[in-house]
């Protein structure tokens, strides 16, 4: 018997992601990892010298609780923005955008994570950390996602307060209070957020326009956004010096902060003067390196 013609062969079966993979994707793992890392920095800096074993245990439990609530906020964001996500190449793969998970199931998953994380923080850490973390959930999932993002081009600026909270949560977890040092870390992330996201929005502007979101490049144009990015990196530069000025860190951190901030401002300057999508992508990627390396240097400096 002749073998079937290749063109007549059955197409390969593409398996859908497992339920676990779908739920895990809803939590935006990369974003949550950065959130927990920044919270851990706040925990470490709140403890003078080397931590005790009880400090390590407390930090581990606090990280777990914060991860769960942050994952819940991310899942709720996917639920609310599923129609928008489906229109954007960057997010069209998400399970909610593809209709792989129903709305009730996604809502139950988000609520379950939030409840479990809040319970862990309240019982095993302290009530202040639980309430601050829950307020961050509301700020991101409701105030930013539902109200600010579709309403104003300043959504990233105002909503950035929620994204800047992790070091404050970490500090509160270890001390039961919010010190000025935690507020300095908050300020750094708060000022970092707009140039980070606007660099992304520059080369994804058509996606945002198609989705109907009033991101700054859509409402005010490319050139205005580039200028704002550059100005924000200059203010951020000054904020990154504050840990050294207020004696939270030593010379190692100062050197790293200056080099990283000069790099970020340099990218922003080039982006302002001579735009290209490729340069906007490089600026966005460097912004991730900037924040991660800055906080890593703060961590290393703390023990040296």
Domain borders along the chain are 17-178, 179-304
| Environment class of 251 (CB within 10 Å of its CB; exposed 0-12, middle 13-18, buried 19+) | exposed
Tokens, residue 89:
């190449």
Instruction: Look at residue 143 and tell me whether its pLDDT is greater than 90.
Output: no
pLDDT of residue 12: 47
Classified as helix, coil or strand, 204 is coil
For residues 236 and 86, which has the higher predicted lDDT (pLDDT)? 236
Read off the pLDDT of residues 237-278 as tens digits, 9 standing for 90 and up.
Answer: 999 999 999 999 999 999 999 999 999 999 999 999 999 999
Span 17-178 CATH architecture: Orthogonal Bundle (1.10)
Q: Report, as an integer, the average pLDDT of 265-294.
A: 96
The region of weakest confidence among 43-47, 100-104, 127-131, 282-286 is 100-104
- Whether the model clears a pTM of 0.85, i.e. scores above it, the answer is yes
Instruction: Look at residue 146 and tell me whether its pLDDT is greater than 90.
Output: no
Taking the C-alpha atoms of residue 225 and residue 237, their distance in angstroms, rounded to an integer, is: 18
Taking the C-alpha atoms of residue 182 and residue 176, their distance in angstroms, rounded to an integer, is: 12
Instruction: Look at residue 51 and tell me whether its pLDDT is greater than 70.
Output: yes
Give the torsion sign (CA, 279, 283, 288, 292).
Answer: positive
Instruction: Look at residue 14 and tell me whether its pLDDT is greater than 80.
Output: no
Taking the C-alpha atoms of residue 176 and residue 188, their distance in angstroms, rounded to an integer, is: 22
């Amino acid at each position: 018997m002749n073998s079937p013609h290749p063109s007549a062969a059955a197409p390969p079966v593409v398996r859908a992601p497992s339920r676990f993979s779908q739920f895990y994707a809803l939590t935006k793992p990369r974003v949550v990892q950065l959130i927990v890392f920044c919270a851990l920095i706040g925990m470490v800096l709140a403890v003078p010298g080397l931590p005790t074993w009880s400090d390590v245990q407390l930090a581990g439990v606090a990280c777990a609780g914060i991860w769960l609530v942050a994952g819940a906020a991310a899942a709720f964001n996917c639920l609310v923005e599923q129609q928008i996500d489906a229109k954007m190449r960057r997010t069209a793969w998400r399970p909610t955008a593809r209709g792989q998970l129903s709305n009730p199931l996604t809502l139950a998953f988000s609520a379950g994570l939030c409840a479990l994380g809040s319970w862990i923080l309240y019982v095993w850490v302290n009530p202040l950390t639980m309430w601050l973390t829950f307020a961050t959930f509301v700020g991101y999932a409701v105030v930013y996602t539902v109200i600010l993002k579709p309403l104003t081009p300043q959504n990233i600026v105002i909503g950035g307060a929620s994204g800047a909270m992790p070091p404050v949560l970490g500090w509160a977890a270890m001390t039961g209070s919010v010190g000025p040092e935690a507020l300095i870390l908050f300020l750094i992330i708060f000022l970092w957020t707009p140039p980070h996201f606007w660099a992304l929005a520059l080369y994804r502007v058509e996606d945002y326009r198609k989705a109907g979101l009033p991101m700054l490049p859509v409402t005010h144009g490319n050139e205005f956004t580039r200028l704002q990015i550059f100005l924000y990196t200059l203010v951020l530069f000054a904020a990154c010096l504050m840990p050294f000025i207020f004696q939270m860190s030593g010379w190692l951190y100062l050197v790293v902060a200056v080099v990283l901030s000069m790099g970020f401002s340099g990218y922003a300057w080039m982006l302002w003067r001579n735009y290209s999508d490729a340069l906007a992508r490089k600026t966005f990627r460097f912004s991730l390196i900037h924040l991660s390396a800055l906080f890593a240097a703060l961590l290393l400096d703390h023990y040296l």
